[in-house]
Amino acid sequence: MFTSAIILAAGSGRRMGFDKMTARLCGKAVILYSIERFVESDADEIIIAASEDNTDKIRELVSENIHTDKPIKIITGGATRFESAVKAVRQTSCECDVVSVHDGARPFVTAKTADKVALEAFRHGAALAAVRAKDTVKICNDGVVTATPDRSGLWLAQTPQAARKADYLAAAEKLDVNDARITDDASVMELYGIKPFIVEGSYDNIKLTTKEDIAMAEYIIGKTGAPKLCVGHGYDVHRLVEGRKLILCGVEVPNKDNLGLLGHSDADVAVHALMDAMLGAAALGDIGRHFPDSDSRYKGISSMKLLEHVRKLLDGKNAHVTNADITIVAEKPKLAKFIPDMQRSIAAALGLDTDDVNVKATTEEGLGIAEDGIAAHAVCMVEKIG
């Protein structure tokens, strides 16, 4: 069974008041929670329907945070949820048997529920995650109750909602995208004549619709494992010699004395200190252990490449840097005018805002090690989830 997961992120967030897909929830963009669960699931590919306004940001979030061989495609959604879903289904692989549509606004789906819904859709034609109604439900007209349906048969629909691709497309052909009865994918299948199978979901699989839902989502994250904050510190020194490039925080610093730092890699002492701080916070050792100078693969390598690798090591532990502060200790050359570029370079490498990265330079008043070399200290905060 080939399953295509579709994550809907093309809504306008009108009731929330801002784009909820790219907003951060405990430090992580909302859309990333669902993408990670579908990467973990048995789905064979992921199609994200984004809006014209959030496509670039979502593309950036995916490329910086999601490391998988699973194909991920980002398409432009439509004016309604149904239209976005249909556009995405049309972009699935020709091998696809089952399409499983999920609201990007439901960050707490689990891979297990996603797999169960897809499997039951393959067996029964359509399936959805849902929970039993806990409250008594009233049907009203003109402000007065006209009926109280039997609660034992009432379920609250969640996502994912899945169907066989061929049936979903055939149903879409027959239906009007603006049909007010279509509030979810299960109703598409019902109107087509297929009875969706219910997979009992979790009350935690809430949809972020209004601002109050954010507080609930933070509570759920706390319940399932509050993010733990860990601090890390790194320190490094390299000797200054003639005839090498001087690279600091990934930025080349030209200088009249033609001085650069000596080392097995490009000897970017500031990035080395930062990597040690990150590895320290995540209890992953130090750069000597991960990139030994006896290994020829690292000869002359850009330390920014090593930083990319360290970031992936942290991702593997569900750990993300939330801010970094680097102090470069150098008597020469003067570094002030290069600092904004250094901050931008580190922020881009770590997927942070430039406001979350600080680089500063100081001397040792001619009293210390910085006479013949450059040293760097770095501290960073790392948030570990789960």
Ligand X SMILES: C[C@](O)(CO)[C@H](O)COP(=O)(O)O
* Type of residue at 364: E
Residue 233 CA to residue 228 CA, distance in Å, equals 17
- CA dist list (Å): 89 to 8, 62, 281: 11, 20, 42
* Calpha distance 46→5 (Å, rounded): 5
13 touches ligand CTP (CB under 6 A): yes
Check the annotation: does 357 bind a ligand: no
Nearest to 322 by CA among 296, 347, 339: 347
Torsion angle (degrees, nearest 10) of CA 40, 43, 49, 54: 20
Rounded least distance, CB 47 to ligand CTP, Å: 11
Shortest approach of ligand X to residue 105 CB, angstroms? 7
The CB-of-22 to ligand X minimum distance in angstroms stands at 18
Report the residue from 36, 103, 167, 356 that binds ligand X according to the rule CB under 6 A: 103
The response to whether 55 counts as a known ligand-binding position is: no
Which of ligand CTP, ligand X, none has residue 184 at its interface (CB below 5 to 8 Å by kind)? ligand X
> Exposed, middle or buried by CB within 10 Å (0-12, 13-18, 19+), for 97?
middle
Instruction: State which residue, 44 or 184, has the beta carbon closest to ligand X.
Output: 184
**Measured between alpha carbons, how far is residue 325 from residues 86, 234, 335, 376, 377 in Å?**
46, 10, 16, 11, 8
**Between 85 and 118, CB nearer to ligand CTP:** 85
**How far apart, in Å, are the Cα atoms of 263 and each of 330, 338, 366?**
17, 22, 23
Pick from ligand X, ligand CTP, none: which does 77 bind, CB < 5 to 8 A by kind?
Answer: ligand CTP
Two tokens at 288? 């000597």
**Cα(110)–Cα(203) distance, integer angstroms:** 12
Residue 67 annotated as binding site = no
The contact pattern for ligand X, residues 177-206, with x = CB under 6 A and - = no contact, is ------xx----------------------
Closest distance between ligand X and the C-beta of residue 208, in Å? 10
Q: Does 250 bind ligand CTP (CB under 6 A)?
A: no
- CB 106, min distance to ligand X, A: 7
By CB under 6 A, residue 157 contacts ligand X:
yes
Question: Given the rule CB under 6 A, which of 154-162, 218-226, 300-308, 318-326 is the region that contacts ligand X?
Answer: 154-162
CA angle 226, 228, 233 (to 5 degrees): 170
Q: Could you say which of 207, 245, 290, 332 contacts ligand X (CB under 6 A)?
A: 207
User: Which of the listed partners (ligand CTP, ligand X, none) does 30 bind, with a CB threshold of 5 to 8 Å by partner kind?
Assistant: none
Burial 46-59 (b: 16+ CB within 10 A, else e): bbbbbbeebbeebe
Report the site for ligand CTP in 70-129 (rule: CB under 6 A): 77-81, 84, 103-105
Which residue type occupies 246?
L
Which segments are annotated as binding site? 236-238, 264-265, 272, 286-288, 291-295, 362-365
Interface contacts to ligand X, rule CB under 6 A: 81, 103, 157-159, 183-184, 207, 209
